[in-house]
Chains A and B, each alone.
Chain A
Amino acid sequence: MSMKELGVVGRNVGQRDLESHARGQTTYYEDVHYPRMLHLKMHRSAEPHARIVSVDTSAAEASPGVVCVLTHEDLPGKKVWNGLAAVGVGPEDEPILAFDKVRWRGEPIVAVLGESAEAARAGAAKVEVDYDPLPGVFDVEEAISGSLPALTAHWPNNHYIYPDDHGAAQIRFGDVEQGFAEADHIVEDSYQTSPIEQAPMETNGCIAKPGGDGRITVHTNTQAVHFARDNTAAILGIAPGKLRFLGGTVGGGFGGKVDVAVEPISVLAAMRTGRPVKFKYTREEEMQVSSTRSAWRLNIKDGVMDDGRIVARKITSYQDSGAYLRFSSYGSMKHAGHMPGPYTIPNVWVDARVVFTNRPPSSAMRGFGVMAASFAIELQMDKVAKTIGMDPWQLRLLNAYRNGDMRAHRKVNEDAAMVETIQAAAQLAGHELPAEYQAMTSWDRKAS
């Protein structure tokens, strides 16, 4: 096809909602106004890890303007869930409202419905929970060392077990130990990323509105409207047809609005009270309670030849899932799928673990699992270059994958463009490459 026939490529394409944004006419979930709307605020765990001795909601119920409170006892369907249960991922491990134990600071325990947001907030502050604190698990490597308590019975060693009893998403390609034995240099380091909040400008929220026909309409800013509806129905044990989810314009998501964090409890509250219910995260909740990108630790060991060829790469990585699974098993699969980076290495060994700690559950964010992998691998590439005294651009060009190379996942490369990308970047950055490196292409491996 010639460029002429392409309708979109190479042109500016109008963004359909730009004019409505500029006029302030775009409707976000919060922009519907219902009379007699109730507001939901959550009483959240003050402890990162504790047994719940007792929960006293009497003062909250008596607080001015409070209409009702909901605890795990009010849940008609599931008490614990996982968003991917419907596609066979499990086990369902996360309480919708905490009971018996809390496993992260901020975990929801009691929902309080008030005539105003302020009444609900004041009521939620009056819920009294008596805790028996347990030792906290905060470090991914300590978590699986056996010296700390197991967070849940699902994972005795505090890490996820993939199907077929695998403790990690794994790659086994060639023989790394052999590769290390033959290498001229061993380069080893540990890399750590932080949890990162997606921080959309609009916080997580929804409005659930009961209708006369027995259906509940939910205005939500979820990034995954059908997923949110199906999970809400499954959690509450009601037919999906009873729920009418209206999504659409999301005030920024970046992965931070796929957790179905607000809809189920709001629908339950609307069913209970027969009134519209709004649950909107405050900015503090968005920053402290909503899931973040996971923090990752990667331990990388490379075997490198004097001429710069990387002959073996061994990676153990730990994804800090926080207290529950959410989508982390998928994140570590994607993470492992990105290894060993865009380089052809004959011997690769990867163990990518999902680890549970007493931190807020983590979840999706742009480039789920991949960003941490790239971060660590590219720092490691610089370290390798420094160790053997080679130009880091040349090191990357030398090792970059080529078409026809067998990747560690046993797929043959077909669409490599890494060499040309590095060459173009070098030119833009004014970094001079020797002629042999300029002559490299994704179709051959001249320099090696």
Chain B
Amino acid sequence: MPELLRPGSIDEAADLIARHGAAAAVLAGGTSLMRETYPSDGGYLIGVDRLGLDRVVARDGGWSVGAAVSLSVLREAVPIAALQAATREIGGPAVQNMATVGGNLFARAPFGDLAPALLALGAQLVFATADGETTQPIEDFYAGWADGAPPSTGLLTRIELDAPSGDCAYLKCARRRYSTPSVVTVAASVQKDGGTVTDARIALSGAHAQPTRCAAAEQAVIGSSLDEAAIAAAASATEGAVEPRTDAVASDWYRRRMTGVFVGRALAALA
């Protein structure tokens, strides 16, 4: 059975993670980790509850969201509708009270519903490692995943989020309304100049082994006026670009179809 360690500072936590390597797991809300059967011998759980990471700080032009902020607190503290919609559709109220933003970014398929919203919003992730602090765009973090599992990045301490300048839409395709794993999850944000789309960020989870942006869909709408033809082109480009998996929730065939349908709906909401 692993041992629970509860470091009192970020430095101490980063050192523990570096020292114990693969034998250590960060324990945030525990809504994923506690479900796994403990390895019976050895190992460490490193609690983040005494690190002061459970606060949202409003700063000029955005927010610093501590990695241990719960989904319920995030919903109250950061008034971005797409993000709020995402938090409401992760588990039920109890899970939302317990699960952290940081934990959700490490969630494995079919979970990880916050990621598309944060990808579409262009969040930056800040990590504490034994060698100091590093910051990376969220898409770089997901690019580092292999076989659907996160790399060893050290401790995620906070998420930097700028107030969105354009509109952002979020949609989860699932078997029921609440407390249900996702078939696919889609978030899209676009910048417009006059009626023309100048930039787009379209992100998916359930479409690949880990959450990603979909360059093919973005290209299909940039320069367009988000007319029906452009939206249809983005939807079909998405279906062509994704590599979804089959699991108990949905088949790869169904997921592929739903990525197209839901990218189309998200874009239509922004048109």
The residues of A with any CB-CB pair to B shorter than 8 Å are 118, 121-122, 125
Contact = CB atoms under 8 A, between A and B. Distances in A.
Contacts of A121: 37, 40
B40 to A, nearest CB: 4
7 contacts: A118-B1, A118-B38, A118-B40, A121-B37, A121-B40, A122-B40, A125-B40
B36 to A, nearest CB: 12
A122 B42 CA distance: 13
A171 to B, nearest CB: 38
B39 to A, nearest CB: 9
Interface string B26-62: 0000000000011010000000000000000000000
A42 to B, nearest CB: 15
Nearest to A125: B40
B247 to A, nearest CB: 15
B194 to A, nearest CB: 51
B242 to A, nearest CB: 28
A407 to B, nearest CB: 41
A151 to B, nearest CB: 27
By DSSP majority rule, is chain B's interface helix, strand, loop, or mixed? loop
Contacts of B37: 121
Contacts of B1: 118
Nearest to B41: A122
Contacts of A122: 40
Contacts of B38: 118
Interface residues of B, number: 4
A101 B180 CA distance: 39
Nearest to A116: B1
Nearest to A121: B37
A125 B37 CA distance: 12
Contacts of A125: 40
Please list the 4 inter-chain residue pairs (A to B) with the smallest Cβ-Cβ separation, ordered nearest first: A122-B40, A118-B1, A121-B37, A125-B40
A268 B40 CA distance: 27
A289 to B, nearest CB: 16
A199 to B, nearest CB: 14
A134 B50 CA distance: 54
A121 B38 CA distance: 10
A118 B41 CA distance: 12
Contacts of A118: 1, 38, 40
Nearest to B38: A118
Most A Cβ at <10 Å: residue of B1, B37, B38, B40: B40
B174 to A, nearest CB: 19
Interface string B1-20: 10000000000000000000
A118 B37 CA distance: 9
B193 to A, nearest CB: 53
Nearest to A63: B40
Nearest to A284: B37
A114 to B, nearest CB: 11
Nearest to A118: B1
B246 to A, nearest CB: 17
A14 to B, nearest CB: 31
B148 to A, nearest CB: 21
A122 B40 CA distance: 6
Contacts of B40: 118, 121-122, 125
A124 B40 CA distance: 12
A279 B40 CA distance: 20
A121 B40 CA distance: 9
Nearest to A64: B40
Nearest to B1: A118
A133 B20 CA distance: 40
A332 to B, nearest CB: 30
A125 B38 CA distance: 12
Nearest to B40: A122
Nearest to B37: A121
Interface in B161-202: none
A62 B215 CA distance: 56
B180 to A, nearest CB: 16
A118 to B, nearest CB: 7
A442 to B, nearest CB: 40
A118 B40 CA distance: 8
A197 to B, nearest CB: 13
A125 B40 CA distance: 10
A34 to B, nearest CB: 24
A121 B37 CA distance: 10
A36 B37 CA distance: 24
A118 B1 CA distance: 9
A121 B1 CA distance: 12
A203 to B, nearest CB: 16
A251 to B, nearest CB: 20
A122 B37 CA distance: 10
A7 B37 CA distance: 53
A122 B1 CA distance: 10
A395 B38 CA distance: 59
A51 B40 CA distance: 29
A135 to B, nearest CB: 25
A121 B39 CA distance: 11
A104 B37 CA distance: 24
A121 B36 CA distance: 13
Nearest to A282: B37
A168 B179 CA distance: 45
B137 to A, nearest CB: 38
B83 to A, nearest CB: 32
A41 to B, nearest CB: 11
